[in-house]
Amino acid sequence: MAMKILDTTLRDGSYVVDFQITAEQTHQIAAALDIAGFPFIEIGHGLGLNATTYPEMRGAASDEEYLEASSSAIKNAIWGTFFIPGIGRIEDIDLALKYGMRMLRVGANVNEFERAHSFIRYAKEKGLYVFANFMKTYAMPYDEVGRIAAEAGKAGADVLCIVDSAGAMLPGDVEGYVKAIRHESDKAIGFHGHNNLGLANSNSIRAYEMGVEVIDTSLRGFGRSAGNTVTEIFLLTLQRMQADQGYDIYQLFDIAEKYIDPMLKGYQQVDSFSILSGYSKFHSSFQPKLEKYASKHDVDLRRLIVALCKENCISAPDDVLERLARELAAKFEKKTE
């Protein structure tokens, strides 16, 4: 299978605008991406099916409105949504099936991926093309990820996707994870990069060189935190490598200028926190929680991020944050005495 791009502009990009991409924008952008020739298009709320029902992450439209907009817009591509067990439910998959959805991306933290297996099996029984997205892949050693990926493949996943959630990986890490999965499974491999260390495109190129079958990109890198692999740069880099993928880059520029650039106004992709997230393997979704503890103990939020991730780069337990914030407060109080 030759490398294919999975466009995640609409799904991952929804984080940038607090999930306020409308159903009309979804229709317009999805239609344009389909005409441009992307084989896979991901749509919907950034956190997947049913996430928009939670008050703290309410989207501009319902799942059904996003599904309807996509169904009427996409004529050629395989399109689908993200799904996180514990947020999404079986009935949400059933709803999506009514609108002709053909792809499901099932994501869970790599260290607890077993909880995704039943949903992968269900999706396969319904005839969907299923991705197993190993969120925060970097939290586990290469060989352990290989084992976890093999089990997801046995559950029915068509694509085993390495996910650099914090943009923390180096090209050598991409190579290590790909080799480990290849050693354990003959299923297709995917790569989803973030740009916190400015390496999303380099990592995606390394994935391409390693023969990864599906690589996620988004126009302008439109995505959570420091953004994703930039479609336009990725494709032009491949052209320079004599590996042209056949896309009309000027057509993609037109789509980005018309639809994405207006949503990026006022959005700063590179800041201290996004850079530190990549360095320390910190997932930006925990930032509001850490802000509370940093404020409570009057400590530097940036230092608290690094301290947490030295102990835990997968979650942010309250007891750990309380202890670390107290330790930082004591440490820097002594230094200023």
Check residue 266 and give its pLDDT: 81
> Does the predicted TM-score (pTM) go above 0.85?
yes
Distance (Å, rounded) from C-alpha 30 to C-alpha 34? 6
- pLDDT at residue 313 in the model: 92
d(CA 5, CA 237): 14
For the stretch 230-261, pLDDT in tens is 999 999 999 999 999 999 999 999 999 999 99
- What pLDDT score was predicted for residue 336? 46
Q: Is 64 exposed, middle or buried (0-12, 13-18, 19+ CB in 10 A)?
A: middle
Cα–chain-centroid distance for residue 298?
Answer: 32
> Are the C-beta atoms of 220 and 261 separated by less than 8 Å?
yes
Three-state DSSP class for 19?
Answer: coil
Q: Nearest-CA neighbor of 111 among 145, 146, 79, 73?
A: 145
In this predicted structure, the answer to whether residue 324 has a pLDDT above a threshold of 70 is: yes
278-312 in b/e form (b: 16+ CB < 10 A) is bbbbbbbebbeebeebbeebebebebbbbbbbeeb
- Whether the per-residue pLDDT at 337 is higher than 50: the answer is no
| pLDDT at 267 exceeding the cut of 90 | no
State the average pLDDT over residues 218-234.
96
Nearest to 8 by CA among 114, 164, 140: 164
Token representation of residue 280: 């320390």
Question: Tokens at residue 276, please?
Answer: 């530190």
> Given this model, what pLDDT does residue 61 score?
97
Is pLDDT at 335 greater than 70 in this prediction? Answer: no
The upper half-sphere exposure of residue 23, i.e. CA atoms within 13 Å in the direction of its Cβ, equals: 12
Give the Cβ contact number of residue 186 at 10 Å.
8
What is the SS3 string spanning 49-100? CCHHHCHHHCCCCCHHHHHHHHHHHCCCCEEEEEECECCECHHHHHHHHHCC
Rounded CA separation 223/286 (Å): 16
CB 299 within 8 A of CB 329: yes
Report pLDDT digits (tens) over 3-58.
999 999 999 999 999 999 999 999 999 999 999 999 999 999 999 999 999 999 99
Mapping DSSP onto H, E and C, the string for 255-316 reads HHHHHHHHHHCCCCCCCHHHHHHHHHCCCHHHHHHHHHHHHHHCCCHHHHHHHHHHHCCCCC
Q: What is the overall mean pLDDT for the chain?
A: 96
| Rounded average pLDDT over 210-229 | 97
Tell me the residue length of the chain.
337
The crossing angle, in degrees rounded to 10, of helices 142-155 and 171-184 is 50
How much is the average pLDDT of 189-196? 97
Looking at residue 44, what is its pLDDT?
98
Q: pLDDT tens, 136-149?
A: 999 999 999 999 99
Question: For residue 136, how far is the Cα from the chain centroid?
Answer: 10
pLDDT tens by residue, 146-186: 999 999 999 999 999 999 999 999 999 999 999 999 999 99
